Amino acid sequence: MEIGAWARMAAEFRLDAIDLSVMCLKNHAPAYLRQVREDIESAGLPLVMVTTYPDFTHPDPIQRERELEYLRRDIALSSELGATYLRIVAGQAHPDTPVEEGIAWVIENFKRATPVADRFKVRLVYENHSKPGAWDYVDFSHPTEIFLEIAEGIKEAGIGINFDTANTLAYGDDPVAVLRTVIGQVETIHAADTAKRGKLEPVLLGEGVVPFAELFSLLKQNGFDGWICIEEASNTGREGIRKAVEFVRKTWSEA
């Protein structure tokens, strides 16, 4: 689907904005990016978030430097398209990366990217992530204890958290307890569902095991008024998106 068509569908469902993965963007040529921005704006919606996939846990220091340059480019791309947030992740769980060194590399490079994000007025948000199609391995910080250590390490760095409702549960832990721990840092939400605990098997929102009512209630109790981005990954097409939108609206209003 073309990005403009996606934006028009979002407008039909009365959504407030769209988000995009950098994998949806073909290049960073000025004419192309100008057309993408015009296509989105013609639908009457802003682009609120871009998601990207830095790999700061790569054991090769040269590759980690490349990853930082890629992230800086993605910050510039996000700014060019008018996005408010750029979702970032720690990197892959490379077999040769020791845990403590990996945590230090992630925190260091997140902090190195922050001045660029500040300059372009793009807010970085770090996610409790699992695994995208772009990677060979699961996320280095998929284990909850690693995610929480990195979250603590970036508290004063001007980086928020994008909390994914499914990924912690897909690891096997309690998403409500983890959200409660980081609630003061959460700025955006990815609403996603999974069929079972301990494995990420995307299903239509509300049909899996994610405790949305509890999560949304906790967010409301703590004054959350940020963006909820719907991750509809059930592969049921337009109807799946419609149902997911209705479910999130209803569950949020009742929380």
| Angle between helical axes of 30-42 and 61-80 (0-180°, round to 10) | 50
Assign 87 a pLDDT band (cuts: 50, 70, 90). very high
* Euclidean distance between CA atoms 129 and 89, whole angstroms: 7
> Is 90 exceeded by the pLDDT of residue 75?
yes
pLDDT value of position 131:
87
pLDDT digits (tens, 9 = 90+) for 55-68: 999 999 999 999 99
99: exposed, middle or buried (C-beta count within 10 Å: 0-12, 13-18, 19+)? middle
Do the Cβ atoms of 67 and 58 come closer than 8 Å?
yes
Q: Which amino acid is at 19?
A: D
> Is 90 exceeded by the pLDDT of residue 77?
yes
Among 44, 43, 42, 69, CA closest to 55: 69
Do the Cβ atoms of 141 and 150 come closer than 8 Å?
yes
* Euclidean distance between CA atoms 111 and 117, whole angstroms: 10
pLDDT value of position 127:
98
The structural domains of the chain, ordered by start, are 3-254 (3.20.20.150)
pLDDT digits (tens, 9 = 90+) for 24-52: 999 999 999 999 999 999 999 999 999 99
pLDDT value of position 132:
80
pLDDT digits (tens, 9 = 90+) for 97-123: 999 999 999 999 999 999 999 999 999
In whole numbers, what is the pLDDT of the chain averaged over residues? 96
Q: Which amino acid is at 68?
A: L
